[in-house]
Amino acid sequence: MAKTIVIRLTKSGSRASTFSISDDLGNVLATDVPKDELITGLALSVADSVKVIILSSTGINCCNKQWNIPVTTITTPELAAINYQQVNTASIWTHLKNPVIYNTFYGCINPYIIEYPFAYQYFDEILQNVKDYTKAYKYLPSQFGVFDDSRKVETDNQYFNKAILYNGQQCSGVLELVPKPMNNLKEYMKYPIYNAESKTITFTKSDNFYQYNTFWSLVKNKSIPLFITSCESMSIDKIVNQSNMDYGKRSFKKEPLRAKELKVRHILDNKSDAHLVSQFIFTPAQISYK
């Protein structure tokens, strides 16, 4: 048997935008529900045995916060009397309270992004590979529970997990970076891996340089913008326009990144226990005569 329940939002912060709804039986009832729809009231059909509804915030910077809401019975006048209230709690941001994590703020991993611009001289140049001199540190717990610069080790397998290479008309799309499998040719031959909205390639570390290649322009139509803006940050050139990228396999027509300029964007957004200290970057290129 099934019953109908009505979910109404009574209060939330201004950052909350969309929600997903599930029950205590593991069933997903709705996804990406706008906040306005929950303010007016959303009716759902659930099993009679459902006792708790799980509401998860899926908006930007909400870190998938969840609330367990018990299913109760109220009268129609009580339901109509519910008024929505927007609340925002002021707080002071504190940093480095945990000495072994970095780009985590109040339980949310925030991406560390650094972008390098390059300008070539008279001739266009074709990018060959990227060599990045970055020091990656992993900090060990301190007996005093505070930041201790002496409690760190330099690692060889911690690095940025994404890269985007582009110029005015070309873009590599999102490159997922993973360490090269060592002493395992079978695993290494699996790369590159073509995903729906990214391409996974390997990086190596040699002579203290992190290096990677296996990229080319994936732009479908040069008359369509390569990037779109983000609601989180209205900066230009923020998010790759995935609808204009072709991540399919290609045995030919691999257009090299060729221009008089180049931008290399590195992103770390899947971990917070690596401290990356970027020193400088080198992009070996070949002059392209035409």
Tokens of 176: 């997922």
CA distance 119 to 132: 17
pLDDT tens string 65-115? 778 888 888 888 887 888 888 776 666 666 667 777 887 776 677 888 999
Residue 242 backbone phi and psi in degrees, to 5? -65, -25
Residue 286 confidence (pLDDT) above 90: no
For residue 166, which of 235, 238, 269 has the smallest C-alpha distance? 238
Mean per-residue pLDDT over the chain, rounded: 83
pLDDT of residue 236: 54
H/E segment holding residue 259 = strand 258-259
| 3-state SS assignment for residue 36 | helix
CA distance 24 to 22: 7
Residue 239 confidence (pLDDT) above 70: yes
Tokens of 216: 């080319």
Least confident of 47-56, 105-114, 201-210: 105-114
CB-based contacts of 141, cutoff 8 Å, min separation 6: 99, 100, 151
pLDDT tens string 131-165? 999 999 888 877 776 667 778 888 888 899 999 99
The distance in angstroms from the start CA to the end CA of the chain is: 74
- Respond yes or no on whether the N-terminal peptide bond of residue 284 is cis (omega within 30° of 0): no
Specify the pTM.
0.72
Q: Are strands 11-12 and 85-86 parallel, antiparallel or unpaired?
A: parallel
Residue 62 confidence (pLDDT) above 60: no
